[in-house]
Amino acid sequence: MALQFTDSNFQETALSGGVSVVDFWAEWCGPCRLIGPIIDDLATSYEGRVNIGKVNVDENPEISLKYGIRSIPTILIIKDGEVVDKQVGVTTKAALDAKIAAHL
């Protein structure tokens, strides 16, 4: 299951080093609901190697603003605290898997 990143825990969880995958989403977003199960599957596949989690943009405006999130779903791949890849909109599990693997 994916982690729940928030304004208060983002620094310790998503930026703690290594690779993190951050899914910016909202309850009311249809495409976000399509990506959700993919993020959960990837979290299981990469458990212990990659921090994979979700940020609810409605509940965590500081992180959303910091990263300039204007459309959701937006998925950021962060390596050692820096954004190294970005996916805006719906995509496939295979495409996300390839993006993650490229940064390990």
Residues involved in catalysis: 29, 32
Give the tokens for residue 42.
């990837």
Q: Closest Cα partner for 37 from 47, 23, 18?
A: 23
Pairwise CA distance, residues 81 & 98, whole Å:
20
Q: Tell me the residue length of the chain.
A: 104
